[in-house]
Chains A and B, each alone.
Chain A
């Protein structure tokens, strides 16, 4: 496959380029020397799994963050953007994956936020409203410019986000997952807008998990994996297989299912339904049995309901229907603490938000879920706590100067091991892990998986979720694919990546 060299880009065809761009957060290397070209008046699509570095690269190109090393070249000239405003002034705008709207403000005010049109009497609201109406017409969306954004449904909010990016007349438009909440007809309109824009000479960078959808619009494909660019090709040379192959990689060894005698059913989920705030079911009548010593992988796209399923089992969310049975006992009515005491532990998806207490030390984080085991009467026993902390650090191989070290001094992978170690220290019978490999490097990933395989060998029931296909085909005995709140397919470990992706709705035409 064509590999880009370190040559300067041809300024006639390449409008914006990254050369050898790297970005590190502490010990975590999000990008490792990437070269990337944006072609003038064409659509370049960036493919890659979660954590491959797509969003990081886009944030660098749009000035939101600065690269640790490397160069950004605009029209053949090296540039450095101090912030997103500077990049916007140079004609680069970005539609973020996460919506960045102020929900209390109107559509008009959101679109012109930070660059209000000035009239003789302050802000020229009439002109802003006129332009907003024109944008909405262009996007074929019937949205009142004066309605507060919070009253719009998610897809319409995404349209507002897109309209805001369009309103600045940029030369380069970066779209990070713009279609995740859009309906099929809205996607059609967006693609029409993209074609109009490219016809006018605007260059587009497109990121999407819907691979086929992206293939219909793109002119060039670039694949990222683990912070490095693995492949580059024009549209004519590629197909779906090529993308999947380059996305997940061939030699991607995260271990194999451990030999363990599968015993009695440890966790049984029966007909479970979980609603979101509006009453729509995120998990719909789902049933799943997991045996002691078994490892089950739950694969699915964003919004498939994996997190909701696991958090309901752990007790964070309430189910509207169904049963959760642990070792033959119904536990739906128990508190999170009681479930942990019974042997059901959850390692949450977002370790910064849900896993770690930043103001506490490594040791205090590790012992947080098992304080009861080293409390003697009224007081905790520092000696027993130290023993528990040291044992856990050894068991999950956390690289740290000791239990007293601040949690922020650890790398992402080691922080994740602390969260896993904290739950393993409660001696669980069933452990649920929501995207345990998110944001950690391949070495740490392998260690986490080795740890889980070891646990299963000793009779632990393991359920982990992932949105990276490569991780399904590692230690899991069984792969369950979720799609829109239901189990859409179940495979044993001999399945292929393509089959898993097809069942998740990823590569199938919508």
Chain B
């Protein structure tokens, strides 16, 4: 992609350095190789497509998380925003009753999608305003919003789940399951959505002025500000995008399940953070890229899917995932340890 995704380069070729910088890629290759040997069902096209469509949810979330982490922040609210937006979409699909007009509105699917993404963006913007204008530490601001969004989702449904979101021909709102079930050229729509999101974000980071602003304000906010970078606008924008992408992930998930529940996406924010970290981004901000984050998401997804396929207990999956994260953080501190701790 661009030079912004790599650590300071050194002269000469070194195998250790190559392994360190391409660690997420090599980890993914290793995971695929090991499970292909252990199970004949792993290395098949259909399995890869199924795994990829599962990764899509985390992947979309982790792209948003990457932007926030590049800015030096963290967004704990994405799992809750995912649930809230799924519930919003479910409510709209079930029909919005307007008692004063005596009608029930059934918005078409495209309107449901637009409105849902708008809700996610709005909640994300709330995070951004709290962090940028009220100087609330990102951890605390998004933790609060995490609880509030989850609570609102539970209130809206009274704790229940909206089922059967396929819509009805008569109401003209069919097609909600298109996102989760359809394929174009054999590729699930969710994977295509992930690819589009990743490519657009990658272009934005490497080629747009905004991308440069983001790297600069994450690397040194004071210097960026004095260079004329609108640091507060950058901050609000990244949290807004993160919220909007959480809404997209919520739509994909609700569509895959054709149901939307208020407890969906619990702890997904942690998986997204893990993907970003495994992808080599620095939690202090300013370093990282989409390519790494995608690799990180696929490492987590392919690892847990592989463990399921070979029949390892889900408790062990948790242990393995945790070990991978710890290892990734360890590698990050080796890579950034010297350069990143300048006073």
Q: Could you list which residues of chain A lie within 8 angstroms of chain B, going by C-beta atoms?
A: 314, 316, 335-341, 346, 348, 352-361, 364, 367-369, 371-372, 375, 378-380, 404, 406, 408-409, 422, 426
Contact = CB atoms under 8 A, between A and B. Distances in A.
Contact of B215 (A352, A357, A375, A426): A357
Contact of A364 (B4, B9, B228): B4
B219 interface: yes
A364 B212 contact: yes
Contact of A354 (B207, B209, B223, B342): B223
B8 interface: yes
B39 interface: no
A120 B8 CA distance: 53
A353 B209 contact: no
B225 A356 contact: no
Contacts of B3: 361, 364, 404
A357 B208 contact: no
B343 A352 contact: yes
B103 interface: no
B342 A358 contact: yes
A269 B208 CA distance: 36
A406 B8 contact: yes
A360 B286 contact: yes
B222 interface: yes
Contacts of A375: 208-209
Helix, strand, loop or mixed for chain A's interface? helix
B226 A357 contact: no
B8 to A, nearest CB: 4
B342 A353 contact: no
Contact of B212 (A378, A380, A408): A380
Contact of B4 (A339, A346, A360): A360
Interface string B184-227: 00000000000000000001000111001101101110111111
Contacts of B224: 357, 368
B230 interface: yes
A224 B223 CA distance: 32
A357 B209 contact: no
Contact of A378 (B208, B215, B228): B208
Contacts of A337: 228-230
Contact of A348 (B215, B218, B226): B226
B160 to A, nearest CB: 44
Given A340-B227, A354-B226, A380-B207, 17 more contacts: A335-B228, A337-B230, A338-B228, A341-B228, A357-B215, A358-B339, A358-B340, A367-B212, A368-B216, A368-B224, A368-B229, A369-B227, A371-B209, A371-B212, A379-B208, A380-B209, A406-B339
A368 B225 contact: no
A408 B223 contact: no
Contacts of B225: 316, 336
